[in-house]
Structure 1
Amino acid sequence: MLDHIGIGVTDYERSKSFYTRALAPLGAGLVMEVSAEETGNQAHAGFGHEGKPSFWISGADAGVGRAHCAFVAPDRAAVDAFYAAALAAGGRDNGPPGIRAHYHPNYYGAFVTDPDGHNIEAVCHMPA
């Protein structure tokens, strides 16, 4: 059901260092970092196992106290359907369905903001 989660942090570099050290005994580490230039907002650091980031931190402008949760979608049509259903249910657009190549070439996701301001996503990692 869950693909990954993320949190906003007040000091990106300090938190990146903290999680790098704290997660090491669990066999997890920094597996991906996305720059502010690539996202058009803040830098993001993804921690996980075997190259798959499952826990992300984002700089302060991404919203400290605001959570990010991404749900697994079986295909791209399900991502599209999630987006339409979430908007119809009162969510706000936070990024329409589409490829996010800065993560990987088949990353197809859609983002909405829920009624409490959390960034909710559906993502499919499969090719079209």
Structure 2
Amino acid sequence: MLDHITFGVADFVRSIRFYDRAFAPLGVRRLFDMVDGEVPVAGYGDTRPWFWIAHNDPTQGKLHVAVGAANREMVDAFHREALLAGGEDNGAPGLRPHYHPGYYGAFVRDPDGHNIEAVFHGTS
């Protein structure tokens, strides 16, 4: 189980706009903001923040993170909204049986090049 993850982004405001829109179809929303501190941070989640972004040096590396979806339609909506929000396609929605039967995922690169995935582990 993923508890939380934090990584640096090059343009904090741009990234907030991206994640606000891309995560909405998954029921993930921004729950925490701190922009008046030394390092601006934002926390996303459903009932508590578990996905964090912070303004940071973008040369520190890229990241992959997968967010669970309740069905295939949510995966499709995530991919669509992420692209409309400025993300780059890194794998259209579809079955990935080489991972395991029923694995349905979609991948996008966010504005900083991080590989973000929505995945549904089911059969319908």
Q: Which residue of 2 aligns with 1:13?
A: none
Report Cα offsets for 1:8-56 as digits up to 9, x if no partner: xxxxxxxxxxxxxxxxxxxxxxxxxxxxxxxxxxxxxxxxxxxxxxxxx
Identity of aligned residues (%): 65
Distance 1:73 1:109, change over 3 A: same
List runs of 5+ in structure 1 lacking aligned partners.
Answer: 6-63
Report Cα offsets for 1:55-77 as digits up to 9, x if no partner: xxxxxxxxx92100100100000
Counterpart amino acid of residue 76 in structure 2: D
CA distance in 2, matches of 1:70, 1:114: 13
List runs of 5+ in structure 2 lacking aligned partners.
Answer: 6-59
Moved over 6 A (4+): none
Q: Which residue of 2 aligns with 1:65?
A: 61
Q: Does 1:100 align with 2:96?
A: yes
Report Cα offsets for 1:70-106 as digits up to 9, x if no partner: 0010000000000000000000000000011111010
Backbone CA RMSD of aligned residues: 2.4
Q: Is the 8 A contact 1:112 1:120 kept in 2?
A: yes
Q: Is the 8 A contact 1:2 1:69 kept in 2?
A: no
* Aligned pairs, number: 70
Counterpart amino acid of residue 115 in structure 1: P
